[in-house]
Structure 1
Amino acid sequence: MTSTVAVAFDLFGTLVAVDDTSEPAAAVADELAAIDVSVPDDWATAYSEPHIDAPEGAEVPLPAHVAAALDSRGIDASGNAARRAVVNAFDPAVETRDGAVEAVAAASEIGPVGLLSNCSVPELVNRTLIRSALDRDAFDAIVSSVACGWRKPDSRAFDTLARQLGVDAAALVVVGDTPATDGGITDCGGEFIDVTETPLTDLRTRLTEGQQCR
């Protein structure tokens, strides 16, 4: 007996690899200075401190964190200065993982396909997709934690994507590389496929076998 399922892919580390900055505080500081925002001498410390009391599982947008860190040192980042600095600081080179395009196509043969990414940087998910070999239109829904407000493994992140795909969270098969976050779908009754154990190139077979067992 078969039932409708939806496949949800993680992005970073699963479908793509990114050459990201190893010193995010310094990268943000450089971009703040470039738009004439004063950077405190102890910026690395300020950046590493928590400044926003968010609920458990909630995503704190990085621009909000940066603005709060500056404010904690008496610096007002007016307008969208913090957002501009953050967006410019995180501008990675993108490499599409082997089998990623084919895996997304295989998933579309099973049911709706979504993308669910933990990402606190606005615009980064869309820019990453544009720079990859992936077709944004291949996804029926794209959800980032910075947009929905919740980070995996919080059930509200999975629920948000499931609603957009028109299924229950229990119907999601999440394909990712991090059991601690992507694997949270099992607490919602869904299935987790770890790409470190099942390569993307083998996903079609795994999904087909899963459907036959439903």
Structure 2
Amino acid sequence: MALSFDLFGTLVTADRPSEPWDAVAESLTARSVRVPDDWEDAYRSAHREYDRGREAPLDEHVRLALASRGVEVAAETATDAVLDAFDSPVAVRNGAIEAVDAAARRGPVAVCSNCSVPGLVERTIARADIETQSGHSFDAVVASVDCGWRKPHPTIFEETADALGVALADLVHVGDDARTDGGAGRAGAQSVLLEDRSLPAIAQQLREGDLC
């Protein structure tokens, strides 16, 4: 058996800007990028279509929004600006460290997270210091911005199982959102939702060998 954990809302809670266009604008300005006067409108408008279930990378969206107003920016600059705009303090949820530790003693463990900001999942894991506190490194980190598909699309769960070297049926995914994380069960894996079992309860069941 292998386990994957959702990150935001499951292992950690994180502050997010209430007006993300302003946070991105500030980060762009700090990099000497001219921000259009109607930036909020540009940011909140769609600039390309994505297939259902596809992740829309936020750095790409920012570049397209700027381009729609005649402002060109290097891809690396947009990526760095977006990451800095959303990189914020995080708090580890009660029971998260114990659950990761117990899971790692049973088999391979991954983070499987929806996130449109490149690098933010990895930055958040490092900020939260989950690996050091639990004494275990994640065997895989699968973010939707890298995978290309968002939960509940089956592909992200399939990629997580592949990254852990197990069949999809042998993957147990733990998360807090029935719509997205519950997609693991519909994809052929198993899903455990925090509305049904708390992280401390999951840790205890893992230690006792009867999670599923």
TM-score by length of 1: 0.91
Matched, 1:159 2:169: no
User: Aligned AA for 1:101?
Assistant: I
In 1, the alpha carbon distance for the partners of 2:195 and 2:157 equals 21
- Aligned pairs for 1:1-214 (under 5 A) are 5-135=1-131, 137-207=136-206, 208-211=209-212
Mapped to 1, the partners of 2:29 and 2:188 lie a distance apart of 47
Distance in 1 between the 2:74 and 2:98 partners?
Answer: 45
Q: CA deviation at 1:53?
A: 1.8
Q: 1:20·1:93 contact (CA, 8 Å) conserved in 2?
A: no
Q: Which runs of 5+ in 2 are unaligned?
A: none
Q: 1:41 is aligned with what amino acid? A: D
Query: Matches of 1:170 and 1:22 in 2, distance apart?
Result: 38
- Cα pair distance change 1:79/1:122, threshold 3 Å: closer
**1:190 partner amino acid:** A
Q: Secondary structure at the match of 1:142?
A: strand
Q: Is the 8 A contact 1:171 1:189 kept in 2?
A: no
The question of whether the paired residues in 2 share the 8 Å contact of 1:51 and 1:68 is answered with yes
Report how far residue 42 of structure 1 moved: 1.5
CA contact (8 A) 2:63 2:75 kept: no
Q: CA–CA distance in 2 between the matches of 1:51 and 1:79?
A: 16
Q: Name the CA shift for 1:79/1:104 in 2 (closer, same or farther; >3 Å).
A: closer
Letter in 2 for 1:167: V
Q: Which amino acid aligns with 2:73?
A: A
Evaluate the alpha carbon distance shift between residue 178 and residue 79 of structure 1 in structure 2; reply closer, same or farther with a 3 A threshold: closer
3-state SS in 1 of match to 2:130: coil
Letter in 1 for 2:128: S
The change in CA–CA distance for 1:37 and 1:158 in structure 2 (over 3 A counts) is same
* One-letter identity of the residue aligned with 1:199: S
Secondary structure of 1:209's counterpart equals coil
Structure 1: distance between partners of 2:60 and 2:107 = 36
